[in-house]
Amino acid sequence: MNERQSVLIRVTGPDHPGITASLMAVLDQSGAGIDDIEQIVIRGQLTLGIAVDVPAGRDLLKDILLFGWDQGVEIDFEVIPSTPTAIEPGHVVTLLGPRLSPAELSEATQAIADAGANISRIIRLSRYPVMSYELLVHQGDEKQLRSSLLQVAADNPGLDVAIQREGLGRRAKRLVVLDVDSTLIQDEMIELLAAEAGRLDEVRRITTGAMAGDIEFEAALRSRLALLAGLDSAAIDRAWSNLRYTPGARTFVRTLGRLGYTVAIVSGGFTVFTDRLRDDLGIDQAFANELEIIDGRLTGEIVGPVVDRARKAELLREIATEAGIPLAQTVAVGDGANDLDMLSAAGLGIAFNAKPVVSEAADTTLSVPYLDAILFVLGIKREEVEAADATPDTDTA
C-alpha cells in the first residue's frame, strides 16, 4: 500500500507572474496531489498556502527549496493532519469606519475571540469613502458574538459592525427597497414644502415626534399637511431644486442596477418627489402618498390610502412577489419608526443613520453618511464599483 503524507507549503515574498505555475509544475513532477489552496497579495507581497499530499518517503523538500531560490521567495513546510478540519457555516462580520484604528480592530477581534469564534479570512472591501473589512468567522456562540460586537460599535463612535450568517442567502440578495427621507435624500420632503410655506418650525416639531415613534405616523402626516393648505403647486418645483441626495446615492443605485438588483423606493413622502427621483436615478419602482392639488394649490389632504408603517412592509412584500423574489433575498433600508415593519419583513434590514428605536430593532446599523457604504455590507468591493464606472455600459441609467 502506497502511504501518503499531508504537507502544508507556505510561499512568501515579492509577487511576480509565473510563481504559481512554476510551483504547480514542481508538485506535478513529485507526484503530489492538491488538497487546498489559498493565495493573497498585499502591496505586491505574496502569501500562498498549498496543502498537498505526497507519497511517503518522496523528497519534496529539495525540489521546493530549489524552486524558492529560483523564484526569489521564501518557503516554509509543515506536516499536517491528512483529514481536513470540518468547518461549519459561520458568520460574516463587516467592519466599517472612517479610518479603523488598530485599537478598534483589536476590540472587534477580541470580541470575536471572547465569543469562542475564530477568524478564518479577512478581506479589505474599501478604502473610500470609508475603510471596510469583511471577516469570515466560524464556531462560537452567535448570541454572544452579536451582543459583544454591537457593544464594541456602541463604545466606538464612527465604527459600524454588520453581522450576517454566511451562506447562499447572503450572496443571493436581489431586491433593495429604500426609504427616501433622510435615507436616499438628506432632507424631509414635507419640510422642503414647509419652508416654502413659511411653516418649517411647526412642521419640524411634528416630524421629530413622528420619526422617534412618539406620534402616530398618519396623524402626524395629516397635521403637517394641514399647515400647508393653500400652498401653490409651483412651490413643488422650488422645493425640488433644494433637495439634496445623500452622498453615494447615485453610485449605490447605479451599482445595484448593474448587478441586476431590483431597486424600489417606498416613502411616507409624496409622489411629486419620488416620481422625479425614480426617473432621475433609474430606480425601478416608486411608491409614496399622492398630494391633493386643486386649482394649482395644495388642499392639505392626500388622495387614497396613506403609505404608513404597515403599508411600507406590505409594499415590500408586493414588490418581491411581483418580481418572483423570496423575502429572504430582500434588503430594506430606512431610518425612522415608520420603517420598522419593512426592516423586519426583509431578509436584511439596515438602519441607516437611524433613530435609536430603529437601530435597536434592525439587523444591521450604519452610521456613516454615505449610502454606497451599504454595498460593502453586501460584500461588494470598492474596486469592483470603480472598475464598472470606468467602463460605462449602455444599459444602466
Helices 60-71, 19-29: crossing angle, 10 deg rounding: 160
Q: Is the pLDDT of residue 396 over 50?
A: no
Which residues have CB under 8 Å from 185's CB, separation 6+? 243, 244, 245, 246, 249, 277
Give the pLDDT confidence score for residue 5 in this predicted structure. Answer: 83
How many angstroms from the chain centroid is the CA of residue 257? 15
- Fold entry, domain 175-390: Rossmann fold (3.40.50)
- Is 179 catalytic? The answer is yes
Count of other CB atoms within 10 angstroms of residue 358: 26
The CATH H-level superfamily of 91-166 is: ACT domain (3.30.70.260)
Give the pLDDT confidence score for residue 85 in this predicted structure. Answer: 63
Nearest residue to 23 via CA among 35, 14, 10: 10
Convert the pLDDT of each residue in 109-119 to its tens digit.
999 999 999 99
pLDDT, mean of residues 293-309:
95
How many angstroms from the chain centroid is the CA of residue 25? 41
Convert the pLDDT of each residue in 238-247 to its tens digit.
999 999 999 9
| φ, ψ at 13 (rounded to 5°) | 145, -175
Give the pLDDT confidence score for residue 48 in this predicted structure. Answer: 94
Q: Is the pLDDT of residue 363 over 80?
A: yes
Q: Is the pLDDT of residue 397 over 60?
A: no
Q: Which three cell numbers stand for residue 83?
A: 483529514
Report CA-CA distances (Å) from 352 to 129, 184, 366, 370. Answer: 16, 10, 5, 9
Helix (H, G, I), strand (E, B) or coil at 347: coil
pLDDT band at residue 58 under the 50/70/90 scheme: low
Give the pLDDT confidence score for residue 57 in this predicted structure. Answer: 59
The active-site residue, picked from 15, 179, 308, 341, is 179
Lowest mean pLDDT among 251-260, 262-271, 322-331, 385-394: 385-394
Reply yes or no on domain 4-79 having CATH 3.30.70.260: yes
Distance CA 159, CA 305 (A): 40
Domain assignments of the chain as residue spans, ordered by start: 4-79, 91-166, 175-390
The active-site residue, picked from 160, 181, 363, 372, is 181
Phi-psi region of 41 (alpha: psi -120 to 50; beta: other; left: phi over 0): beta
Same fold yes or no, 4-79 and 91-166: yes
Give the pLDDT confidence score for residue 249 in this predicted structure. Answer: 98
